[in-house]
Amino acid sequence: MFEKVLIANRGEIALRIMRACREMGIQTVAVHSTADADAMHVRLADESVCIGPPSPAESYLNVAGLLSAATITNADAVHPGVGFLAENGDFAEIVEDHGLVFIGPSPEHIRTMGDKVAARNVAADVGLPLVPGSRQAVQSLDEALEAAEEVGYPVVLKAAAGGGGRGMKIVRRPDEMAESLDVTRAESQAAFGDSTLYVEKHLGHPRHIEVQILADHHGNVVHFGERDCSLQRRHQKVLEEAPSPALNTEMRDELGAHCVEAIGKLSYRNAGTLEFLYQDGEFFFIEMNTRLQVEHPITEMITGVDLVREQIRIAAGRPLDLRQEEIEFAGHAIECRINAEHPLTFYPSPGRITDYHAPGGLGVRVDSALYAGYAVPAYYDSLVAKLVVHGRTRNECLMRLRRALEEYVIEGVETTIPLHRRLIGEKAFVDGDYDIHWLERNIAALADLAIGGASADD
Ligand code: MV4
């Protein structure tokens, strides 16, 4: 097993990884920017190294700085966390070229899945159902029109280098294609330095359902069921739940088995998430994420498995000691992402935390690097806490979540807690009756109510 792991990240996810390391008796190295000298992840680590100034490009994305930090501390592995360099195949390769273990998939798998056209082809080759669309990138207007004609309008143009919602455009009629192609190509070139596009049939009212898998270096693959991540705003997930209110046990087992079979054919290793759109009883693969995900705790809550510990064991070459039959799904879990943002405008709200009280009690988990007196920096993602609640039933989970959100005190910055308090009382949410557009359509009204509710409380 590793003796020392460097965590190439910050905030709540760095703490999450350190906790797994501590339980395994592994020493931890934190890295930080000058803006994060007082951050909790630095305090909790056995050692820390300052790797640069506040801007992410010069610190958490500073590959030379990260490798120097790993070398001088004599770390033997690197966990990239989520975001930053977690899905950068070149980083994974450089880490390995320096004789360190990258706790994640191979550089080749990261690169393949990062190219959405390649990912579609791989998925199709291993038998996963795709959204109907082009297998190849579309090179010309004629090719785009032909692909669209084949699947039927409306279609969506997507950037091969995109993902997570960046670089996509709906095309409703053939006469819109030429302009949409130009615009999306230019956007993609500007955002990713790559203008490759492909065409998919546009699904109008899907849910976003993703399947967690783990694979070891010995050919073992298991799945941990699905998460429903349909509640999003501007492609930022707001609340996730497991299991999905839209699936039953039979559908879960079938989808999971399908993913396990597909992943088994790829010699993939470590953690991965297969993303699907689910509409009218059918699943369509869209993308695969080759990393741990922010919302992994809800899967841990319903299965009792420490996914980060498994990632570390796998990276150290250990065989998975979990068989699929041993992975049991118990109860229901929900994660509320708490961001330091204004609840109406969603503008970031950095600043000093003047008072802090996290909820607790049975079935309540808070993953956060906040503490009273800490100053939330303006340079990074506004996610400051994940409130994760488990119940034996979805109803019990909701009762407990309502109580936990009432208990949570974060003063000094604005947060999305008031929005969550309103959201979980909405009939559509309570009924589990929502798709990927529901939150976007209702958020203005919810945010208004949230502000009203908050001031009435104060
Ligand atoms: C789609 C789609 C409808 N039809 N593809 C957005 C993020 C990226 N991962 C895929 N996305 C979508 N792809 C087809 N063929 C609608 C979306 C989409 C979406 C997907 C998941 C969660 C939230 C979303 C919000 C808007 C659009």
Query: How far is the C-alpha of 82 from the C-alpha of 103, rounded, in Å?
Result: 12
Distance of CA 314 to the CA centre of its chain: 20
Give exposure, 111-140, as e/b (b: 16+ Cβ within 10 Å): bbbbbbbebbebbeebebebbebbeebbee
pLDDT band at 458 (very low <50, low <70, confident <90, very high): very low
Query: How far is the C-alpha of 159 from the C-alpha of 167, rounded, in Å?
Result: 5
Distances (CA, A) of 106 to 22, 112, 122, 224, 315: 25, 10, 15, 21, 10
Q: Is 12 in the pocket of ligand 1 (CB under 6 A)?
A: no
pLDDT at 456: 36
Active site residues: 291
Q: How far is the CA of 165 from the centre of ligand 1 (A)?
A: 6
Asked whether the predicted pLDDT for residue 455 surpasses 80, the reply is: no
Distances (CA, A) of 369 to 83, 312, 442: 16, 22, 30
Asked whether the predicted pLDDT for residue 29 surpasses 80, the reply is: yes
For the stretch 357-414, pLDDT in tens is 999 999 999 999 999 999 999 999 999 999 999 999 999 999 999 999 999 999 999 9
Ligand 1, atom 24: nearest CA belongs to which residue?
436
For the stretch 300-316, pLDDT in tens is 999 999 999 999 999 99
Across the range 242-249, mean pLDDT stands at 98
CB 83 within 8 A of CB 292: no
pLDDT band at 452 (very low <50, low <70, confident <90, very high): low
Q: Is 203 in the pocket of ligand 1 (CB under 6 A)?
A: yes
pLDDT at 44: 98
End-to-end alpha-carbon separation of the chain, Å? 51
Q: Is 131 in the pocket of ligand 1 (CB under 6 A)?
A: yes
Q: How far is the CA of 182 from the centre of ligand 1 (A)?
A: 20
Q: How far is the CA of 125 from the centre of ligand 1 (A)?
A: 22
Q: Between 167 and 317, where is the model more confident?
A: 317
Ligand 1, atom 6: nearest CA belongs to which residue?
165
Asked whether the predicted pLDDT for residue 75 surpasses 50, the reply is: yes
Which helix (H) or strand (E) is 57 found in, with range?
A: none
Asked whether the predicted pLDDT for residue 150 surpasses 90, the reply is: yes
Query: How far is the C-alpha of 447 from the C-alpha of 445, rounded, in Å?
Result: 6
Asked whether the predicted pLDDT for residue 454 surpasses 70, the reply is: no
Question: Which SS3 state, helix, strand or coil, does residue 379 take?
Answer: coil
Q: How far is the CA of 144 from the centre of ligand 1 (A)?
A: 19
Q: Is 202 in the pocket of ligand 1 (CB under 6 A)?
A: yes
Asked whether the predicted pLDDT for residue 183 surpasses 70, the reply is: yes
Across the range 52-76, mean pLDDT stands at 98
**Best residue for ligand 1 mutational test, from 120, 153, 155, 156 (most atoms within 8 Å of Cβ):** 156
Query: How far is the C-alpha of 209 from the C-alpha of 198, rounded, in Å?
Result: 22
pLDDT at 163: 78
The pTM assigned to this predicted structure is 0.96
**Best residue for ligand 1 mutational test, from 130, 151, 208, 293 (most atoms within 8 Å of Cβ):** 208
Q: How far is the CA of 436 from the centre of ligand 1 (A)?
A: 8
pLDDT at 444: 87
Asked whether the predicted pLDDT for residue 299 surpasses 90, the reply is: yes
